[in-house]
Amino acid sequence: MSEFLDLKHFLRQPTVSTRDTVTLSSHRTAMAILPVKTDDDLGDRRPPIRDLRDSFASTSMRAHGVASATAFTTATDWLRKQRPSYLEHLRLTGRTLPDEDVMDPRATPFDPVLRLAAGVAPNFVNQDVLGDWAGEFVLCHNAPDYDARWDDLDGVEGSTGALAGADRAVGGLPGHVVLTTKDLSWDRSNVCALALSEAPEERRRAVDFLLRMREAAMTYARARGWTRLGLYFRFFGCEPVGEEERGIIRLHVVNLARAGPRMRRTAKINLPIDDVIEALGGRRATRRGAVIVVQPPKVGDLPTVEPLTTQNGGQNVQKASEDDEVTVIVKRVVQANKPVKENEVVIPDELQRLYTNAASTENVNMAVRDARRNTASETFGSRSPQSTIFSDVQWLSAYKRVSSPARVHSALDGLFQS
């Protein structure tokens, strides 16, 4: 009983020495009041925060996200003032090799992308699609189960998944891949490290690196036939749980024509590459908030299709399609003026005209209605609509691969059941 009386007496004291230690015990419990040091006592001897990532996660910048040039500048200014510094943080957490400022691919927890870039783990992705950039950059695919969750609307809060779906063709390649560098130096560990130095020559060097990285990503997009491209970084400490980028910079290369619901969910942490270039003093390739439009490559003798334009007060204004993939591929087929070879798929002239602008559900439905009305005309003769319009199974299969299955099926149902 006297022990508890002593505790009450101790708590009533107006001041307590920071060096006092009082230990109280009873027959069942033991309680210790440890020495407490105030900020005045600590002064400049305040112990460093070991995990800088957690420190950033507790700021309002993490809550609001880093997805613009202004937010990137604010976040890097904050990071530059921290002690320990970002480089010291990498050393303290064991992410760099001993006595070297180079990222350690064997550091735990493992960074799978860093291990692929360093050659420690085998990379089965064909690097030839990067062309001449394969000597500096590495293309990586996400895990198959990660890609499969790209359209998971009912996923558990905080679960991970790809930002876009795979190509519509059966067994298509993923619509969200990662591009990284073979340079394992610490200033390539995250996009934030590119802006920590305020020296003009270092910032120019960072901009040059980003320009090369952007061109490598666009080279890959052209090889895949993508037309609407998104290129994003994740700032240090802003990554979703389970997607921490601990060892090396990642550029998320996304086919926006197949974007899934996670694109919207992660909008506040997807930092466009052009915003980083702008923050470092470079020139952006697109306006803020715009997607990167990729000019499709030439395939054989097929001509490259110029974007549709309309006159508006003497100025050319580009018209955006709801599904650029469909528009580009169908127009390339329509405008190919080469001789028909033996056994080549023959598309009826009427279908070529009707499907030139088949980029939306309304246009598809209108096209099949017009075709149905014209089936009895001289253009198609007396054959039935089904045998005339879609008699070529090869053409129908090819079109269904490049268009939305839901749109095609809806159009066919309306044509053959009405």
| pLDDT at position 285 | 87
This prediction has a pTM of 0.62
Buried b (16+ CB within 10 A) or exposed e, 14-33: eeeeeeeeeeeeeeeeeeee
Rounded CA separation 140/116 (Å): 8
Cα–Cα distances (Å) from 75 to 239, 247, 264, 378, in that order, read 14, 19, 22, 68
254, containing H or E segment: strand 251-255
User: In the chain, where are the structural domains located?
Assistant: 2-37, 52-293, 318-416
Rounded CA separation 270/321 (Å): 24
For the stretch 4-31, pLDDT in tens is 444 444 444 444 444 444 333 333 333 3
Rounded CA separation 59/235 (Å): 13
Check: CB of residue 390 under 8 Å from CB of residue 380: no
- Banded model confidence at residue 356, pLDDT cuts 50, 70, 90: low
| pLDDT at position 307 | 42
Across 137-146, average pLDDT: 95
For the stretch 103-132, pLDDT in tens is 999 999 999 999 999 999 999 999 999 999
pLDDT-above-90 percentage for the chain? 48
E-assigned strand segments in 131-173: 137-141
| pLDDT at position 334 | 43
Q: Which residue has the higher pLDDT, 131 or 381?
A: 131
Q: Count of CB atoms within 10 A of residue 377's CB? A: 9
| pLDDT at position 140 | 97
Across 248-269, average pLDDT: 94
Across 236-254, average pLDDT: 93
**Least confident segment among 70-74, 210-214, 281-285, 353-357:** 353-357
Q: Which residue has the higher pLDDT, 43 or 405?
A: 405
For the stretch 164-190, pLDDT in tens is 999 987 678 999 999 999 999 999 999
Across 27-49, average pLDDT: 42
Q: With helix as H, strand as E and coil as C, how does 295-331 read?
A: CCCCCCCCCCCCCCEEEECCEEEECCCCCHHHHHHHH
- For the cut 50, the answer to whether the pLDDT of residue 70 exceeds it is yes
Per the DSSP assignment, residues forming a β-bridge with 180 are 138
Per the DSSP assignment, residues forming a β-bridge with 255 are 229
- For the cut 80, the answer to whether the pLDDT of residue 249 exceeds it is yes
Buried b (16+ CB within 10 A) or exposed e, 180-199: bbeebebbbbbbbbbbbeee
- For the cut 50, the answer to whether the pLDDT of residue 218 exceeds it is yes
Q: Which residue has the higher pLDDT, 243 or 320?
A: 243
Q: What angle do CA 298, 332, 374 make, to 5 degrees?
A: 170
Instruction: Name the DSSP letter for residue 282.
Output: -
Q: Which residue has the higher pLDDT, 207 or 352?
A: 207
Across 259-275, average pLDDT: 94
Q: What angle do CA 65, 267, 211 make, to 5 degrees?
A: 85
